A and B are shown apart, each in its own frame.
Chain A
Amino acid sequence: MSSGHRGSFDSRKTRYLRPDKPWTCGRPGQPCSRGPSASGLCQNTDSECSPMHSEGWWRSKTVRSAFVLTLGLVLFAMTQNEGQIFQQEIFSPGPLSHAHGKLDCAACHSENLNSFGGLFANVLGGTHDNLGSQGCVKCHDLGDHSRKSHGLDPATWAELYPEKDISELQDETECAQCHQEHQSSGTFLNMNDRRCQNCHQEKFDSFSKGHADFSDSYGLKPRSFNFDHSTHSLRHFIEVPDQAPATCAGCHSLEVNTGAMSVLPFAESCGGCHSSEISGQGAQGKNQGIEIFKLPEVDFQTLNDHGLQTYSWAKYPEGRTNAWTKRWFLNGEVGDSFDQLSDLNLSRLERAPIERLKDVEDFVQLTQTEWAAALEEDLQQWVARWMSPTVADLSLDELSDLSGQFPHALLQFVQEQWFVAIENEEPLNLTVVDEVEQGKNSQDDMLAGEDDMLAGEDDMLAGEDDMLAGEDDMLAGEDDMLAGEDDMLAGEDDMLAENTAHSYGDRASEKRADEYRRFVTGVDWANAGGWYLDGPSLWYRPVQHADSFLKAWIELESRNENRDKFSGDILKELTGEYSAGRCQKCHVGLGIAGQEVNWGHEKEIKDLDFTHFNHASHVFNDEGRQCNTCHTPAETKSAGGHDWLSVSKESCLECHGQQIQQDCILCHKYHASPFIRELNTATMEIFKKK
């Protein structure tokens, strides 16, 4: 039995203890059996004690005080920020990312969250944008669909993957789901591999082990340049090595941020080899310029025969007029007259009735009057004569380009040349002999340039239809019009007749002819481009690449709203395969009326870019690493119409997969829209309207 030598327990004396009561008896010996009352008064009349609070009382007191204190503190904290109960520093779950360090709560979180009611309403049915995605896009512009997956319109998804179910992609995400703004050691500001895996369940070990090979990165986009890399790099550059560019940088400028290979201006890139083509160097006659205004051939003989006036006209017009000129006629006062005569072949009027002949006479007269009238106008009005009547709203810059800076003096000169005063009975065609000589000269020229012509005969054959009249001319010039003599019999006979009538003219006119020669044959003058007069036509010679006159007219006629019935022909004239300037050779898609012209010099920004290769960090342009380290030209064009073999994964594996990072997000970006490029290049518009 245990010894109870100290304070031994005596069951007789011990009284009940009541530990659940708030007060305990304070008697130093045995607590009395009665205990203090509930209000703390000693109930023992014999030996009064001073009751003490029991332990249980202290415990519940502590709990209660702690509760009240905390509640008080919390409520106090809520009142600290003026009016803003919840949106204040103390409740913030962490500092913002350092770029946003100066923003306050209201920048992102909506105002209605600052009241109990507002917050509670959101607790119950929270769909308000409380995470501030709307706040994000105030500064970060990511396009219209920034909250859809990958920032793309679901319709685009449907186009890309028509067979897949894209209903899920209709859901909108909040920016804050991935970009956790309030920083703590557990939050991430940006995407990382694991996050991609939330939706994309790709199952392979790493980039080096198991990643699929790259698909055709050049895609199916339409080319705007008819440039064949394979023929150039595999053939042409090898043929003319001194003119070939050393590296891709010879023609391209790599935009390191976007990976776009922009083409250097023509002069630096293609111009080295192709400038002469554009300027028509070596081309002869008609290949060098564009016939703008061509007076039609009128059968004056018939008119004379019928006693009608013959007026001055350009010497040796041939054939019918061209589209431009037709438009000129139609746009002017002479339009109606011309229109009436549209069914007539003006060069052969033998069988035309007298009335018609009279009309022709009127026509001729009106033409001259028109020209005279034009002289008194201004350049803009002159240009307007050439354009389709539907054209409107052209800026001064455009008109200037369209005018080609047509000099007034030339107008005057043309008038003197073609429309000599009626009183002047001087025969017109004084230059027959000269013409023969001219023909000789030109023959020489053509002979010299025969290579070109012959060489270009293939081309010419194609353009034979258009240049029929011209060809006859040329042939006439070449063979003394022998070959084409049959064709031009009618006219030529006339001409010869006329010419022979005057062929044995006086020496004075011959002299004058000599003098005029230099004026009239302005083609030599225009070896640096510009307007020149050649016989019955006004010519324009483009020499530079992107000649503004040509360019303006091509663009004008291509626009749908400016179309009229002549646009097609005009475009053909301008953009024919062998037209002066040779636009069509490289620029794709010209000459189709109604189609917006794409010269192809804009940056080709890929609309959809899920992967992003940062050339800046890779391309060192040293001997070891050049473009062709990864990009190889293909011998045959791909299905997509381009001439590069797609970059293979092998190029990357040399480094990535060894010791260098190979995260998904290194190459794959979430925000696929073009806007991410802008973000990456730090051209964010922070001064956009809020």
Chain B
Amino acid sequence: MTIRQPKPLILLGLILVFFVIQNYLDIKSGELVSLAYESGWLLLGSFIILALYGMRKKFPFLPIGKTSSWLQLHLGIGLLSGYLFLVHSGFAWPQGSFEVALYFIYLLLMGSGFIGWFIMRWLPKPMRADVENLHPSRIPFRRSEILEEADALVLKVEEGALSERIIMGYTEVIRPFLNARPGLLHSKRHNELEIPTPIVQKLALYLPPSVLFSTESSRPFHKLIREKSDLDRMIVHQRWIRGWLFLHVPLTAVLFILIALHIFLVLGFSSGGAS
């Protein structure tokens, strides 16, 4: 994960470590005036600021600070909220169904945030190497084009000793592969051929791939498979880079309700602050 603004983050990190240790010792020693109250309000404030980032994105035309600056703020406050969360929960596991739910939803939210941070920093570079000059929206089109080309190609396979095998290899292995959608992970790539290893292994049942791709008419298959696997990689990348937000943002809504209920319960069942 690249840190774009290392100095303030390092400083923040050091300060937080100091406070974490301090607070950990205090809380574990069982002091009476619990930090949970103050840290709770601070946590709420930081949650609001964090959620405001989402709102800010709706108003790109207002001169209230660039979105990239807001993102830095979001990340910093996210770190801070992690520390506050530790303090607020007393460095302890939760008890009670509701509190457990609240705790783990918060962890999930924060965890997805950190994972997203990592993804957003790390993924763009490998993503560019996937398919050049292809806008993600055109991927489905290109996939169908590849299928059509492959179907046209297979018709042109010339008769010969291997043709039957080639055709079988096509129908059993290549075409299903060209049709299939990828999941969430890359498939390993064969070093030389640059196509997924499972395909190579499956093709080998019918014909050694090197033989398969040697003939003039069937060499384009290699190209198509390669392109399709590149597209697959792009799809996987796109899924990760867009998909994590499908966890992160809805959890904010969920947590919002839970936090409201939590505050309601805590204040309702309390008898006022400790003096």
**Direct A–B touching in the complex (beta carbon < 8 Å)?**
yes
Q: Which residues of A contact B (CB under 8 A)?
A: 2-4, 6-9, 14, 17, 24, 28-31, 55, 58-59, 62-67, 69-71, 74, 77, 86, 89-95, 109, 113, 118-120, 122-123, 126-131, 171, 174, 177-178, 182-188, 192-195, 197-198
What is the chain A residue whose CB lies nearest that of B31? Answer: A194
Cα–Cα, bound, A126→B99 (Å): 22
Centre residue among A8, A127, A184 by max chain B CB count within 10 A:
A184
Q: Indicate if the CB atoms of B95 and A2 lie closer than 8 Å.
A: no
Of B5-13, B134-142, B149-157, B187-195, the one with at least 4 CB within 8 A of chain A: B134-142
Smallest CB gap from B256: residue in A: A67
The yes or no answer to B65 lying at the interface (CB within 8 A) is no
Report B-chain residues with C-beta under 8 Å of the C-beta of A122: 267-270
B268 and A113 form a contact (CB under 8 A): yes
Residue of A nearest to B26 (CB): A194
Task: Please report the C-alpha to C-alpha distance between residue A67 and residue B138 in the assembled complex, in whole angstroms.
Answer: 33
Which of B28, B94, B138, B274 has the most chain A CB within a 10 Å cutoff?
B138
State the interface size on chain B (CB cutoff 8 A).
54
Q: Please, which residues of chain B bring their CB within 8 A of the CB of A197?
A: 31
Q: Tell me if B269 and A66 are in contact (CB < 8 A).
A: no
**With A31-B137, A192-B30 in contact, do A2 and B257 touch (Cβ < 8 Å)?**
no
Knowing that A7-B134, A90-B96, A123-B264 are A-B contacts, what are 8 other residue pairs whose CB atoms are under 8 Å apart, sorted by A's residue number?
A2-B133, A6-B131, A7-B131, A7-B138, A91-B97, A94-B94, A183-B95, A185-B90
Contact between chains at A3 and B140 (CB < 8 Å): no
- For the residues of A in contact with B, the DSSP-based class is loop
A109 engages B137 (CB within 8 Å): no
Contact partner, B271, options A8, A64, A130, A194, Cβ 8 Å: A130
Q: In the bound complex, what is the Cα–Cα distance between A70 and B269 (angstroms)?
A: 22
Q: Are A94 and B95 in contact (CB under 8 A)?
A: yes
22 contacts between A and B (CB under 8 A): A3-B132, A6-B131, A6-B133, A7-B134, A9-B135, A59-B245, A66-B251, A66-B253, A67-B254, A70-B253, A70-B254, A74-B257, A74-B261, A91-B97, A93-B98, A95-B95, A95-B96, A130-B269, A182-B95, A185-B92, A185-B95, A193-B29
B96 touches which of A120, A182, A193 (Cβ 8 Å): A182
Q: A63-B250, A70-B254 are in contact. Are A86 and B268 (CB under 8 A)?
A: yes
Residue ID in chain B nearest A174 by CB atoms = B271
User: Are B98 and A90 closer than 8 Å at their CB atoms?
Assistant: yes
* Chain A: minimal CB distance from B133 (Å): 4
Which chain A residue shows the least CB distance to B97?
A90
- Whole-angstrom CA separation of A128 from B268 in the bound complex: 10
Residue of B nearest to A92 (CB): B96
**CB proximity of B86 to chain A, nearest CB, Å:** 11
CB pair B132 A4 closer than 8 Å: yes
A58-B246, A62-B250, A131-B269 known; A91-B96 Cβ under 8 A = yes
Q: Are A198 and B31 in contact (CB under 8 A)?
A: yes
Determine which of B31, B95, B133, B271 lies in contact with A184 in the assembled complex, contact meaning CB atoms within 8 Å.
B95
State the CA gap A192–B28 with chains docked (Å). Answer: 11
How long is the Cα–Cα vector from A62 to B248 in the complex, in angstroms? 11
Q: A89-B97, A122-B267 are in contact. Are A186 and B92 (CB under 8 A)?
A: yes
Tell whether, in the assembled complex, residue A126 and residue B253 are in contact, meaning their CB atoms are under 8 Å apart: no
**Bound form: Cα–Cα A328–B103 in Å:** 87
CA distance A407 to B71 in the complex (A): 107
Do A198 and B137 form a contact, CB below 8 Å, given A129-B271, A184-B94? Answer: no
Asked if A62 and B246 sit within 8 Å, CB to CB, the answer is yes
Q: In this assembly, does B20 line the interface, its C-beta being within 8 Å of a C-beta of chain A?
A: no
Using Cβ atoms and an 8 Å threshold, which residues of chain A touch B62?
none
Q: Please report the C-alpha to C-alpha distance between residue A661 and residue B32 in the assembled complex, in whole angstroms.
A: 22
Number of A-B contacts (CB under 8 A): 163
A285 to B26, CA, bound (A): 78
With A28-B140, A30-B141, A178-B32 as known contacts, state yes or no: A123 contacts B257, CB within 8 Å.
no
| B255: nearest chain-A partner, CB-CB | A70
**Distance from A27 Cβ to chain B, minimum over Cβ atoms (Å):** 8
Chain A residues, Cβ within 8 Å of B91: 186
How far apart are B251's CB and chain A's nearest CB, in angstroms? 7
Chain A residues with CB under 8 A of B61: none
A contact residues around B269 at 8 Å (CB): 86, 109, 113, 119, 122, 130-131
- Which residues of chain A are within 8 angstroms of B160 by Cβ–Cβ distance? none
Bound state CA distance, A186 and B96, in angstroms?
13
Q: Are A192 and B29 in contact (CB under 8 A)?
A: yes
With A70-B258, A130-B271, A177-B32 in contact, do A184 and B249 touch (Cβ < 8 Å)?
A: no
Q: A569 to B132: give the CA distance in the assembly, Å.
A: 123
Docked CA distance A322–B77 (Å): 97
In whole angstroms, how far apart are the Cα atoms of A62 and B92 in the complex? 32
Assess whether B126 is interfacial by the CB under 8 Å rule: no
Q: Say how far A426's CB is from chain B's closest CB, in angstroms.
A: 92
Q: Which of B3-51 contact A (CB under 8 A)?
A: 26-33
* B267 / chain A contacts, CB cutoff of 8 Å: 122-123, 126
- Name the B residues within 8 Å of A184 (CB-CB): 90, 92-96, 99
Complex alpha-carbon distance, A626 and B162, angstroms:
106
A55 closest partner in B (C-beta): B242
Q: Are A70 and B257 in contact (CB under 8 A)?
A: yes
Task: Pick the most buried of B95, B97, B144, B271: most chain A CB atoms within 10 A of its CB.
Answer: B271
Do B268 and A91 have beta carbons less than 8 Å apart? no
- Report B-chain residues with C-beta under 8 Å of the C-beta of A192: 29-30
Nearest Cβ in chain A — how far from B140, in angstroms? 6
Q: Which residues of A contact B256 (CB under 8 A)?
A: 67
Of the listed residues A92, A127, A171, the one surrounded by the most CB atoms of chain B closer than 10 A to its CB is A92
**Contacts A6-B131, A186-B27; A127 near B271 (Cβ below 8 A):** yes
Q: A8 contacts B133, CB within 8 Å?
A: yes
List B contacts of A93 (CB < 8 A). Answer: 95-96, 98-99
Q: Encode B217-250 as 1/0 by CB contact (under 8 A) with A.
A: 0000000000100000000000000100110011
Interface: B67 (CB within 8 A): no
Residue B161 CB within 8 A of the other chain: no
Q: In the complex, are the beta carbons of B31 and A195 less than 8 A apart?
A: yes
Given known contacts A71-B257, A130-B271, A28 and B144 CB-to-CB distance under 8 angstroms: yes
A29's nearest neighbour on chain B, judged by CB, is B141
